[in-house]
Amino acid sequence: MPDRKKEIDKAKEEAVAENPGRRKFLGVTATVGALGMTGATGAGLMLGGSGKAEARSRGNGGNDIHVAPGELDEYYGFWSGGHSGEVRVYGVPSMREIMRIPVFNHCSASGWGMTDESKRIMGDSHRFTNGDAHHPHVSYTDGSHDGRYLFINDKANTRVARIRLDVFKTDKMVTVPNAQAIHGLRLQKAPKTGYVFANGEYIIPQPNDGRDLNDPEKYWTLWSAIDAESMEVKWQVMVDGNLDNMDADYTGKYAAATCYNSEKAITLAGKMRAERDWVVVFNIERIEAAVRNGNFRTIGDSDVPVVDGRKGSEVTRYIPVPKNPHGLNTSTDGKYFIAAGKLSPTVTMIQIDKLDDLFAGNLSDERDVVAAEPELGLGPLHTTFDGRGNAYTTLFLDSQVVKWNMDRAVRNYNGEDVDYIIQKLDVHYQPGHNHATLAESKDADGKWLFSLNKFSKDRFLPVGPLHAENDQMIDISGDEMKLVHDTPTFAEPHDAVIIRRDQITTSQIWRRDDPYFAETIEMAKKDGVNVDRDNKIIRDGNKVRVYMTSIAPNFGITEFKVKQGDEVTVVVTNLDRIEDLSHGFCLVDHGVSMEVSPQQTASITFKADKPGVFWYYCNWFCHALHMEMGGRMLVEKA
């Protein structure tokens, strides 16, 4: 404790000595107080600005947010569900929530985490019922979204998952070895999404098997590349410091990640000790060559090649940036990696076309790749783009979004007397990520901007101590940003991606040969059952498999008998072909529930451990006689 106080006092003195202006740099105490919203400073910041949307539905650019009943939205918005572990789908601009996709959580409605199909996909990690989903990203071809997949990280249990965007279901999940807490996640943008890149945030002993417990000098973290098709971890790179956020370029050659803990500290004060941390740049070709040439090792039980990318290595470069940077975003013109300063009021623009020279050793200093370092305001966290040369950065401490011009920032950095700040807009309150339509791709269209605000105090009807987040919609189609809508969201969107509706092609009913339930159909075949027509009960020792069809309002089997202690698998095939005609299967008093959508086969396994009569019913309203759609499981005493 005394150490920490000394550190804080020292940092305070230094901050005052170096930067008398409060906006210039934050002392440790001010930062801690404001970030934690405990100090007077924080409270003051939250109350600024009236923040009333001026016109209900029209921004000055003329964008209409009103989507009339029966009309469809122009965009799909995919919102991470934070520590709810799910992904939510919104229609933009109406901000109607259309769907929730369970990913790392378990879902009472769909049976995700309970069904045999979902357990196979989740693998061992299905024992976890929580997740922390931060960064959703849609796959690319040549820098444009191709609508095949959405990928997302799980910080809580070190996983990466893939969602199929034809059926909006999670279809792959991998636990990343040798890392702890996957945070930043981005995709290779060109020529297509071959790799999913994943930042390991926390530094740990390698291998983490009980050795070096209290020797942080021997803790390391890894940057991982996952094959987007097989979802296998292809290789990893060991780095200095830790990794926070990241992005990839538009050529497929480079990726970059922020590091806030170059100190390799284990305490908060320690992580703020150094004046500068890093942006780590990864050279993908060189990493692949190292793997090809056997220039790697493996760690512990994992056989994933680990390339050494610590300082001085050929595969990485460490660019010093102001301390504790956070967001990292690639500008949609492909020119810059933009690292947000967080504790510094600046963002650092790294010129991507200078990286070849940096890696070739043609530059005298790593900082030579910095094209500009514009000062924007307090607490810059993330940046997005409008495709017209402007960037939009969230200012956590100022509770603002700042619109600024990239070209003018560079000219200003080079000594020209031009102003680069265009507008600052109050948001409510404390924004983290922000996102403009299509702004993760080269097709950024500059229509809508979302500021994902962490605090919503006084914006919605009170609901007790836990507050909703507030995702605010801003019209950026005109010269001025204009706030048009407040969206309450539950714990806690970190990030979103918004793509045009024509970039996704969905299936309204399942295909009978879909790989999602192919293994279940294989099992049926081995039992001599054709699930497309048979209703059969197979007894196999103390295992019982009940195959039934469903056609509204009937289950193909309305009673089956098992013995106490049997392991029962119920397989339901929905033979209805009508769009929107989902059935469900819920067995009372057994914690058994699942969705069975049109033409889907779904299965769930449980123990019949109590003798008696147990009703099952369809729990997706399907027919006028939906209430009557059910049957009985008769369990004989053992």
AA letter at 233: V
Residue carrying the six token digits 């500059």: 446
- CA atoms of 138 and 223, how far apart (whole Å): 20
- CA atoms of 203 and 272, how far apart (whole Å): 16
- CA atoms of 81 and 90, how far apart (whole Å): 12
Q: State yes or no: 183 annotated in a binding site.
A: yes
- Going across the sheet that includes 254-259, the strands are 246-248, 254-259, 276-283, 316-322
Nearer to Ca ion, 260 or 516 (CB): 260
| Contact mark string toward Ca ion, 238..267, x via CB under 5 A | ----------------------x-------
Backbone angles phi, psi at 76, to 5 degrees: -95, 130
Nearer to ligand CUA, 380 or 631 (CB): 631
Q: State yes or no: 220 annotated in a binding site.
A: no
- CA atoms of 322 and 278, how far apart (whole Å): 8
552 part of the interface to ligand CUA, by CB under 6 A: yes
620: partner contacted, choices ligand RUQ, ligand CUA, Ca ion, none (Cβ within 5-8 A by kind): ligand CUA
629: partner contacted, choices Ca ion, ligand RUQ, ligand CUA, none (Cβ within 5-8 A by kind): ligand CUA
Query: Among residues 409, 156, 371, 184, which one has the least CA distance to residue 280?
Result: 184
Nearer to ligand CUA, 377 or 630 (CB): 630
Nearer to ligand CUA, 389 or 553 (CB): 553
Q: What are the DSSP calls for 463-508, one per residue?
A: -SSSPPEEEEEEE-SSSS-EEEEEEEESS----EEEEEGGG----S
Residue ranges in 578-617 that form contacts with ligand CUA under rule CB under 6 A: 583
> Torsion angle of alpha carbons 73, 76, 80, 86, nearest 10°?
90
Q: State yes or no: 629 annotated in a binding site.
A: yes
- CA atoms of 633 and 150, how far apart (whole Å): 39
266 in the Ramachandran plot: left (φ > 0), alpha (ψ -120 to 50) or beta? alpha
Is-cis flag, bond preceding 191, omega within 30?
Answer: yes
Q: State yes or no: 326 annotated in a binding site.
A: yes
Q: State yes or no: 623 annotated in a binding site.
A: no
367: partner contacted, choices ligand RUQ, Ca ion, ligand CUA, none (Cβ within 5-8 A by kind): none
What is the distance in angstroms between the CA of the first residue and the CA of the last residue of the chain? 62
AA letter at 335: K
Total number of residues binding ligand CUA (CB under 6 A)? Answer: 10
| Contact mark string toward Ca ion, 210..229, x via CB under 5 A | --------------------
Cβ 527 to ligand CUA, closest distance in Å?
A: 24
Residue ranges in 317-376 that form contacts with Ca ion under rule CB under 5 A: 323-324
218: partner contacted, choices ligand CUA, ligand RUQ, Ca ion, none (Cβ within 5-8 A by kind): none
- CA atoms of 268 and 266, how far apart (whole Å): 7
Q: Which of 621, 628, 636, 638 touches ligand CUA by CB under 6 A?
A: 621
Cβ 244 to ligand RUQ, closest distance in Å?
A: 7
- Beta bridge partners of residue 339, listed in sequence order: 328, 348
Cβ 52 to ligand RUQ, closest distance in Å?
A: 25
The token pair at 243 is 């990794």
382: partner contacted, choices Ca ion, ligand CUA, ligand RUQ, none (Cβ within 5-8 A by kind): ligand RUQ
Residue ranges in 449-508 that form contacts with Ca ion under rule CB under 5 A: none
Backbone angles phi, psi at 154, to 5 degrees: -125, 105
Task: Return the range that interacts with Ca ion (CB under 5 A); candidates 193-201, 273-281, 326-334, 487-495.
Answer: 273-281
Nearer to ligand RUQ, 74 or 495 (CB): 495
Residue nearest to ligand RUQ (CB): 432
Cβ 256 to ligand CUA, closest distance in Å?
A: 51
458 in the Ramachandran plot: left (φ > 0), alpha (ψ -120 to 50) or beta? left
- CA atoms of 278 and 346, how far apart (whole Å): 14
Query: Among residues 252, 311, 309, which one has the least CA distance to residue 285?
Result: 252
Cβ 414 to ligand RUQ, closest distance in Å?
A: 30
Q: In angstroms, what CA-CA distances link 1 with 4, 33, 113, 172, 267?
A: 5, 17, 44, 45, 11
Which residues have C-beta within 8 Å of that of residue 468, sequence separation ≥ 6?
Answer: 456, 460, 488, 489, 490
Cβ 574 to ligand CUA, closest distance in Å?
A: 8
Q: Given the rule CB under 6 A, which residues bind ligand RUQ?
A: 134-135, 183, 245, 326-327, 381-382, 432-433, 494-495
Q: State yes or no: 620 annotated in a binding site.
A: yes
Q: Which of 12, 119, 626, 632 touches ligand CUA by CB under 6 A?
A: 626
- CA atoms of 86 and 537, how far apart (whole Å): 35
236: partner contacted, choices Ca ion, ligand RUQ, ligand CUA, none (Cβ within 5-8 A by kind): none
| Positions that interact with ligand CUA (CB under 6 A) | 552-553, 583, 618, 620-623, 626, 629
| Positions that interact with Ca ion (CB under 5 A) | 260, 271, 277, 323-324
Residues annotated within the binding site for Cu cation are: 134-135, 183, 326, 382, 433, 494, 583, 618, 620, 622, 626, 629
Residues annotated within the binding site are: 134-135, 183, 326, 382, 433, 494, 583, 618, 620, 622, 626, 629
